[in-house]
Amino acid sequence: MFANYLKTALRSLMRQKNYALINLAGLSFGIAAFILIMLYVQHELKFDHHLSKRDRIFRVVEIQNEPGVGEQHVAITMGPLAQAMLNDFPQVKNAVRLMSAFNVTAVSHGEKSFREDHLYYADPSVIDMFDISFIYGDPATALKEPRSVILSKKAAEKYFGDAAKATGSNLLFDKTGFTVTGVMEDQPETTHFFFDMLMPIATAEALPGFEWMKGWGSNSLVTYVELDRTSSAEEVNKGFDDFLKRHVFSQEDGWQYLEMYLQPLNEVYLKSGHIKFQNVSAMGDASMVNVFIVISVLILLIACVNFINIAIARSVKRSREVGMRKVLGAGRGSLIVQFISESAIITLTSVLIAIGIVELALPELNKMLGTSFSIDFISNPLFNVGLLFLLVLISLVSGSYPAFYLSRLHPIAVLRGISGKSGPGSGLLSKILVVFQFIISVGLLLAVFVIHDQVNFIRNKDLGIQYVNRLYVDFGETGYEKIRVIKQELMQHPAIQQVSGCSYVNGVAGSQGPVFVDDSANTKLYVRYGFVDDDFFGTMDVQFADGRNFNGLQSGDINRAVIVNQATINALGWDNALGRKFVFPQSADSSGKAEIIGVVKDYHYYSLRSPIEPAVWIWQPERFKGVVIKYAGSGNKDEIRSFIESKWASVYPGLPVQIMEAPNYLTQNYKGDQTTFTLFIYFTLVSLLLSCLGLFGLTSLLIEQRTRVIGIRKVMGGTVTQITVHLVKDYLLLVLTAGIIALPAGYLLLQKQLDEFAYHISINVIHLIVPVILALLIAFLTIVFKAYKAANANPVIALKYE
């Protein structure tokens, strides 16, 4: 019986090769796009799922509300916080502090020396809370001794060749020896906090100059707590008010406006966009994940709509087939099975083709996202259960109209021609489905145009600082002692124009704190700190609005003079800042005062998502972390890099050189936005392709059904142009209707996304009109060829039709 159904279904499909191919192409690309998007979604939703206690682990977040910056959420906390929470909250069963080992510039073993980006100080409790699995060593004692370190398997192999040789061996962190006490399994890529090396945080607390880690006035590390149960988070949140009064507000010159709350670990990766400062290795966006889930479903629906639309258009011919088969004794059940079988054959073939498309597309997708997606039929439910579910679902959805509508037709009525044409209901359904397809396509086109202009706005906006033809080289915590030497050495190259010492390439240090105005009110303002020398603003083309730059010839500027930005003046309500003084710890003056000598124009030291905040720049060499180098655009970049490496080796022997092209700083800030934009383009093209395929197939069938009408119109004197316009205009009206529906919804959703940027474009009339015009043009080109060909046909042939 089944073989008979299969044979009949194949014969039916072979008689309609063109429409079968259209359905195959549409479903194949639709399923492939769905799989690719769901691989991305699956990846995003898997973050931190390897942690067995993730439902009970929370990250402590502060809400700061200080003059100058307003309300901001910060996931960097105080050193004593973890122990105090263990003491004060019975619900807290464990806690861990993690802090980047920013003071370590080089890790060495023998002749091997590297900079490590994933090196952290941590409490021993990190092993239990973060499910660290040991390959070698004892987890109970691995982080007990001050100068101990545990390595990932990858890091151990990098330094020792064989991970088995690492335990008990020594590593040099700068010039200090540490003993490897354990080797842990490499962390998965789906973790928001990635580390390759862990040292005891007690080691950092004992370092000279790190006394601030023991106080409540400095935020420097991340704090995670493990609760007795998930619901206890609400109790802890309620207790934070009294907790802060006891430990923080009671401190002299401490925080005045501070709140705390617990953020579930399950939300850290996807729902931390509102948190301004946080130490994470990766961060996603829950709203974008939801957007892509919707897009994947819509693309799949478009492919199914194509199938249904063509089935509706073919219903005239298929109804006669149904009538004949019923006369010959076929029951409704067998007809339903027959039509579902045809749908299943097309769907199964489409699934197989889609897998091939996915295989071809995965290398490019992995390159774009930095992932390692692969087709896995054994352990990934998307490829076994998911594809089986898709096969059944699409077969039923796509074959539903012919199966359940045509199979109920009465054979006598069909053979008499009463149901020889699609009724008004099927015609209306067909039009609704076409409108639905183009609503999606117009909406995605609108998103592409808006995101494209926002990306261009970001690229081309005058940031007030120039990164092109600049390099940044990091020398860490102690390199400032040789700052003058390295500047002189680098300036020997004819293509190098300027070299400046600074805290980072953007001129600010990543640290934020208060300054107090030297006035009777002791006015307090929170500012971004920047540490630069007298060459920085010239090197980076930052313009002055008033006053002067630091002067190297005036030793009084070092530690005793400051430069502010216009945002600082605006926040304080000043007309003139020159000559005024701040009181703050960064000044080396015995009075603690520093005079404002200059005002720079506001420039974007962070991304355009954040507004420009008050900032203060100080010439304090011991806070420099590297040098920024400006070189002539005509210079040979590779030759310049080789020169820097040679000079660096002579001035900083044993310190690995890390040269960053300054524009990469901007690239990293907007990498996620660029990736999103690229994905939008790809899936919009797929959506348009599917819509056009469906429209072409539907138009072909409907024009074929109206062949006699076309012939009569020609005999009655209608021109080819008139007939073509008559055939095309109905579909263009449907596309126009889709545009009118899609634009308001698209506008609201995109405006919400743009509002995440402090500086963004405005959605204008051009953005709204162009997608509709483009959709109309695509639809016109899709159907005009077929319509023109039908209108130009010999009317004698048309009148002999059927």
Query: What pLDDT was estimated at residue 16?
Result: 63
User: Can you say whether residue 297 is alpha, beta or left, with left for phi > 0 and alpha for psi between -120 and 50 degrees?
Assistant: alpha
Measure Cα distances from 406 to 317, 419, 775 in Å: 11, 10, 33
Candidates 325, 402, 316; CA nearest to 802 is 316
Residue for token digits 């609503």?
A: 439
Query: What pLDDT was estimated at residue 421?
Result: 47
Backbone angles phi, psi at 709, to 5 degrees: -60, -40
Angle at 623 between CA 618 and CA 625, to 5 degrees: 120
Q: How far apart are CA 706 and CA 727, in angstroms?
A: 10
Query: What pLDDT was estimated at residue 705?
Result: 60
Q: What is the DSSP string of 699-765?
A: HHHHHHHTHHHHHHHHHTT--HHHHHHHHHHHHHHHHHHHHHHHHHHHHHHHHHHHTTSSS-----H
Contact 629, 499 (CB under 8 A): yes
Q: How far apart are CA 56 and CA 176, in angstroms?
A: 37
Contact 665, 471 (CB under 8 A): no
Residue for token digits 């009109």?
A: 769
Measure Cα distances from 24 to 30, 31, 344 in Å: 10, 10, 11
Radius of gyration for the alpha carbons in the chain, expressed in angstroms and rounded: 34
Residue 796 one-letter amino acid: V
227 forms bridges with which residues in the sheet?
A: 92
Query: What pLDDT was estimated at residue 777?
Result: 85
Mean per-residue pLDDT over the chain, rounded? 83
Residues of the chain with pLDDT under 70: 1-19, 252-254, 311-335, 401-427, 429, 553-555, 585-591, 697-724, 726-727, 785-802
Measure Cα distances from 395 to 19, 356, 744 in Å: 16, 20, 34
